[in-house]
Structure 1
Amino acid sequence: MDNFPLLWRRTRPARKAAGRPPRLSVDVVVAAAIRIADADGLEAASMARVAADLGVATMTLYTYVPSRGDLVALMVDDVLLARDLTAGEESWRERVALFAARTREMFVAHPWLTEVSLVRPPLGPGTMAEREFLIATMSAAGLPAGKINRAALAITAYVYAFARQAGEDTRLSRASGQSTEAWWQDRGEFWEKWFDVESHPAMTALWNAGGFDDEGQTAFDYGLALLLDGMETDGAERAGGAERSVE
């Protein structure tokens, strides 16, 4: 069943019910679930745990949110919306950078998002705000109408892939008590005793050439720059073609 009334609860004023005012609200329930998931993971944010945190019976919670699936959808959409993707006077490339930075921050702050599939996202204000922001951003890039949505989806896929990695890194570091950097350091013996240079000539040649040295640009920044360069070229070619056709 669609949960649109819950997702869009803030856009329509609630009707005042007769009798005693409700002790809780959907917003309070969702905020508690997010707080628990942030601390202990998505599985911990069960209906029973959230109810206990709020000091009510589990069945009481179901009068606000019909199911655990609905609760998770509301949690996801709320954290999506919290990114505050509002466009100012930035260039379209700066807007993409803003989207990338805030999406990464979102996954790091809420690592349980890595446990949720966003292939079929909740169709709430958070999802729609993201789509509106990216469509407007790519429209400003000068792309033809037929390519704007494709460009927005390409950026979404690229940014989310890296952002989810950051979230997973946070989740694993918390669960194990060890950072990923420390994990790699503990495995230094592998390169000395187990890595066969003859079986991996391309990797060995790149290592000897200094190709694994950190030059101050991450793989994400490198890839995003190439992606946006291609889109910028596409938009410029379209603008140039339009000018020639006018002439």
Structure 2
Amino acid sequence: MAENDADRVLALLWRHRNPPPGARTGRRPRLSVDAVVAAGVAIADAEGLEAASMAKVAARLGVGTMTLYTYVPSRTELLELMVDHVLGSRDLPGPGDSPPSDWRDRIHLYAQRTLDMYRAHPWLSRISTVRPPLGPGTFAEREFVLSTVAGAGLPIGRVNEAALAVTMLVTSAARQEGENVLLRRASGQSNDSWWAERSGFWEDWFDEEQHPTMTRVWHADGFGGGTEEQAAAAFTYGLRLLLEGIAREGAGPP
């Protein structure tokens, strides 16, 4: 059977588990897929996702672009490898490791490491999560979140739904963190500074009669703090409510 694009990228993603036949015979290769991926990640971290081209990765490694294609077939595969590598860099505890004993603490560990990951690699927020790379980084996350939520005592048929709810909330907040980093880099301006420049909007354009609830919240100091502080507080609030709901369902009927 001819190898298709999916077969090729899966073999690369799982290269450490199933090295290709004859990989350790013959002359030692000048490069490795790991080195190519690390170079791509380093360029994207420093200069943005668009800068991580095959030509630029090759130049960083001191080889010709055509040489790079013998390790990674195209930029599409390179991006999948980069994403999965970064997902795995969170080093989430796996089976046999010693994670926090309380399942809520495990979720908070996952959330914090995911937020930190997007801050360190903000280009991740430019890549869709709808079709994730089917590699060890992705599956380490899925196993960790599923096993954690299962520890809350949910019926096994509800574990995946709860795990997806947690992942969607955490990833959404983390992607916003990445977008904040990218915007600050591109504009040299914080979100609060951006809003301050538009402070005249509230006097000149905002209509209290058309926005009565916003006005009530404003007068109750419900928009206190900067925009990033508000986002962090909203995430903390939402995650707490979600975990409380999972805990209640896991406990069963009273």
Please give the TM-score of this superposition, normalised by the length of structure 1: 0.92
Aligned match of 1:198: 209
Aligned match of 1:225: 240
1:43 maps to 2:54: no
Alignment of 1:102-113 (within 5 A): 102-113=113-124
Deviation at 1:102, TM superposition (A): 0.8
Q: How many residues were matched structurally?
A: 238
Which blocks of at least 5 consecutive residues in structure 2 are unaligned? Answer: none
CA RMSD of aligned residues (A): 1.6
1:18-70 per-residue CA deviation (whole Å, 9 max, x = no partner) reads 13x21110000000000000111111100001001111100000010011110
Instruction: Specify the code of the residue in structure 2 equivalent to 1:63.
Output: T
Aligned match of 2:167: 156
CA distance in 1, matches of 2:235, 2:100: 24
1:68-117 per-residue CA deviation (whole Å, 9 max, x = no partner) reads 11000000000000001115133111111111111111111111111111
CA distance in 2, matches of 1:47, 1:113: 18
Alignment of 1:82-121 (within 5 A): 82-86=89-93, 88-121=99-132
1:133-152 per-residue CA deviation (whole Å, 9 max, x = no partner) reads 01110111100001001100
CA distance in 2, matches of 1:13, 1:196: 64
SS at match of 2:252: helix
CA distance in 2, matches of 1:88, 1:61: 39
1:55 maps to 2:62: yes
Aligned match of 1:11: 17
CA distance in 2, matches of 1:113, 1:89: 27
SS at match of 1:83: coil
Counterpart among 190, 195, 200 of residue 189 in structure 1? 200
Deviation at 1:13, TM superposition (A): 4.8
Please give the TM-score of this superposition, normalised by the length of structure 2: 0.89
SS at match of 1:22: coil
* Residue identity (%): 58
1:195-247 per-residue CA deviation (whole Å, 9 max, x = no partner) reads 12222111112211222235997000001111111110001125x5xxxxxxx
Answer whether contact 2:92 2:141 (CA < 8 A) is retained: yes
SS at match of 1:9: coil
CA distance in 2, matches of 1:210, 1:38: 37
SS at match of 2:16: helix
